[in-house]
Every structure is written in structure tokens, then in C-alpha cells.
């Protein structure tokens, strides 16, 4: 049995967490650790890859393997990690800016590739780390540091987008409900394929509109929803107010790793195989 304590970061007592008091990243981190415990995972079973931003700092605040990478680049790095070691539980994390803007391209093509990874988006509907600019999910009309007259661009509906792209697993939760969030994360990790999990995560410092109370009043948990029905999933994803929470869509299909030629006859993880440097050198000498 694993315990929650195992996921506490191994740091001296004086170590400071730089998230603001009350930030929604705290309950999100607790829910993540609870999901690991629920699945009886050990810290060394898991690798979290993050981009850049407040959300992306999570790798420092939870005890697993961690890779704090570049803005918007968590998904390709996580995909490579999973391809190299399919036995690891691989999670990519970042904010709504990181995943949908700077990393938007990787979000689209990651869904198409279908690596067996879980992608967790901390959606606070604002750029937190850089102090409150409008992000791809900021609501129309909201006044921000860079949109003082109000946002006029259409917010991105990433849940609907993921469903349209035939993502393997698409879910959403709100971190104000930690147990439910932990349950959704656990389902996503258990799912074989690219699992998109968008988590509403209040930013108490720079988003004074989408507060804890706002999310409580503007979301609801879907009951008796059939996640195998794509049209129904899309209909649910298009509901604006209140916004549904739960597993919208499940589409079981072969993963990237299952499709890779190198694993067809030999399931030894790539990172354990010897590098045949002479063959590579010979190939380059012969062909270039
Ligand atoms: C390529 C690049 N563009 C911009 C930045 C500056 N930058 C750092 S974090 C960030 C926004 C992060 O917002 P989000 O991903 O929503 O995460 P949050 O901080 O809200 O958790 C930006 C624009 C950067 N580091 N690299
Ligand atoms: S700025 Fe917002 S997202 Fe960042 S730590 Fe503070 S409350 Fe959290």
C-alpha cells in the first residue's frame, strides 16, 4: 500500500512553496497525490513532466520523478519518455496558457499521436506566473492587465476540441471537490491512451472573476452520461453555464507505443537496449 506521505517532497523544513496562500494548485496537488495512493503507485513508478508557469512548478512540490521543461513543451517530452520506458506512469502538466497557447500545437498533435500519457491542465483562466494577462480560456469581457478594456477574443473550448479530434479520454473536474478530482485523475491514469484532464483551479491573486464560489455556482457533475457516445459528449462539452464536470468521452484505440515497430517483437523498453553506435556511424558514413 502506498501512503500520501510518500508523495510529500523531500525538502528541508525551511523550503518554501511559492504558490500564493489559497491557490487552487494546493488542492490540485492533494488530489493528485490521493489519485496515486488510490492506484497504489509508488513515487518511483511516476514521472511528471511540466512546462512553465505556476502550474508547472508542481514537479517541485510532489515526490515523483520530475522534469520541469520549457513553456508549452511538456507533451512532446512526456511522449518521448513514455516511448522510451512504457512501464512508467507518465503525466504532463501545465497551465491553460502553457497547454493551450504556447503548447497548443503539441496539444493537437499529442491527441492525434495517442501516447499512453495523462495530460493535466491546471485551468485558472488566466496567465498566473506573469501576473494576470488574458489566457486562451479567459472569458469575454474580463478586464486583465493586458486587456484593460475587456477580453474580446473567443475563449478556447479545449474539451470540445479534444472530442472532435477523437481523443482517447476527455474529462474535466474542479479542484474545490478534491475527492471527485482525485477519482477523475485516477480514471485518466488507468486509461490506456492519451487522457486529457482539464481541472478548474482558481487563481486567487489574478483572477477575481473565476473564484472558488464562482466555480461552485457555475459547474455541475454529470449523471448517467454515456462517455462512449461522441455526439452526446460534444453536446455536453458545448454547455456553457453551468459547465459539466466528469468523463465526457472515452475512445479506446491503439496507443502510440503499441503502434511502434520497435515494440512489435520485443517489449524491452528502448532505454534498456544497447545503442548500436557502430551501425549508426556506418549508416551515416554510407548515406551522407
Ligand atoms: C516561449 C515563452 N513565452 C512566454 C514566456 C513567459 N511566460 C512564462 S509563464 C507564462 C504564462 C503561464 O501561464 P499558464 O500557463 O496559464 O500557467 P499559470 O502560471 O497560470 O499556472 C508566460 C507567458 C516563456 N517563459 N516562454
Ligand atoms: S498567481 Fe494565481 S496561480 Fe499563481 S500561485 Fe498565485 S494564486 Fe496560484
Q: pLDDT digit string (tens) for 139-184?
A: 999 999 999 999 999 999 999 999 999 999 999 999 999 999 999 9
Predicted confidence (pLDDT) at residue 123 exceeds the cutoff of 80: yes
Q: How many CB atoms lie within 10 A of CB 110?
A: 25
Q: pTM score, two decimals?
A: 0.96
Dist. CA 33–CA 11, nearest whole Å:
17
Name the residue with the closest Cα to ligand 1, atom 11. 127
Task: Give mean pLDDT, residues 114-122.
Answer: 98
The closest of 45, 57, 55 to 16, measured between CA atoms, is 57
- Given this model, what pLDDT does residue 12 score? 61
Ligand sitting nearest the alpha carbon of 126: 1
Confidence grade of residue 69 (pLDDT, cut at 50, 70, 90): very high
pLDDT above 70 covers a percentage of the chain that reads 99
Predicted confidence (pLDDT) at residue 281 exceeds the cutoff of 70: yes
Query: Between the CA of residue 158 and those of 13, 44, 104, 174, what are the distances in Å?
Result: 39, 31, 10, 15
CA of residue 71 to ligand 1 center, whole Å: 6
CA of residue 23 to ligand 2 center, whole Å: 5
Residues with Cβ within 6 A of ligand 2?
A: 19-20, 23, 25, 54, 124, 128, 203-206
Q: Which of 129, 138, 201 to mutate to test the pocket of ligand 1 (most atoms within 8 A of CB)?
A: 129
Query: Between the CA of residue 60 and those of 11, 48, 98, 149, 236, what are the distances in Å?
Result: 9, 10, 17, 36, 35
Atom of ligand 2 nearest to the CA of 55: 3
Can you tell me which residue has the cell 523498453? 269
Q: How many CB atoms lie within 10 A of CB 179?
A: 10
Residues with Cβ within 6 A of ligand 1?
A: 52-55, 71, 94-98, 102, 122, 124, 126-130, 135
Predicted confidence (pLDDT) at residue 14 exceeds the cutoff of 80: no
Dist. CA 226–CA 269, nearest whole Å:
36
Amino acid at each position: 500500500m502506498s501512503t500520501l506521505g510518500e508523495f510529500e517532497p523531500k525538502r528541508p523544513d525551511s523550503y518554501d512553496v511559492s504558490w500564493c496562500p489559497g491557490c487552487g494548485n494546493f488542492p490540485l496537488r492533494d488530489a493528485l497525490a490521493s489519485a496515486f495512493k488510490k492506484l497504489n503507485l509508488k513515487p518511483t513508478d511516476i514521472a511528471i513532466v511540466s512546462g512553465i508557469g505556476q502550474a508547472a512548478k508542481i514537479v517541485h512540490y510532489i515526490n515523483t520523478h520530475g522534469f520541469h521543461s520549457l513553456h508549452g513543451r511538456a507533451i512532446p517530452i512526456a511522449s518521448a519518455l513514455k516511448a522510451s520506458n512504457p512501464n512508467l506512469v507518465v503525466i504532463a502538466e501545465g497551465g491553460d496558457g502553457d497547454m493551450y497557447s504556447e503548447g497548443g500545437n503539441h496539444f493537437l498533435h499529442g491527441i492525434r499521436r495517442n501516447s499512453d500519457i495523462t495530460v493535466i491542465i491546471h485551468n485558472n483562466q488566466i496567465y498566473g506566473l506573469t501576473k494576470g494577462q488574458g489566457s486562451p480560456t479567459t472569458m469575454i469581457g474580463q478586464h486583465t492587465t493586458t486587456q484593460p478594456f475587456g477580453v474580446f477574443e473567443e475563449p478556447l473550448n479545449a474539451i470540445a476540441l479534444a472530442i472532435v479530434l477523437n481523443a482517447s479520454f476527455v474529462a474535466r473536474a474542479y479542484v474545490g471537490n478534491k475527492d471527485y478530482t482525485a477519482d477523475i485523475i485516477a480514471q485518466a491514469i488507468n486509461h490506456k491512451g492519451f487522457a486529457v484532464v482539464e481541472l478548474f483551479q482558481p487563481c486567487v491573486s489574478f483572477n477575481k472573476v473565476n473564484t472558488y464560489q464562482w466555480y461552485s455556482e457555475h459547474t455541475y457533475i454529470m449523471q448517467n452520461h454515456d462517455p462512449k457516445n461522441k455526439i452526446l459528449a460534444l453536446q455536453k462539452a458545448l454547455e456553457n453555464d453551468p459547465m459539466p464536470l466528469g468523463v465526457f468521452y472515452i475512445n479506446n484505440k491503439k496507443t502510440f507505443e503499441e503502434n511502434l515497430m520497435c515494440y512489435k517483437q520485443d517489449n524491452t523498453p528502448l532505454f534498456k537496449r544497447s545503442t548500436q553506435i557502430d551501425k549508426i556511424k556506418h549508416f551515416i558514413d554510407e548515406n551522407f
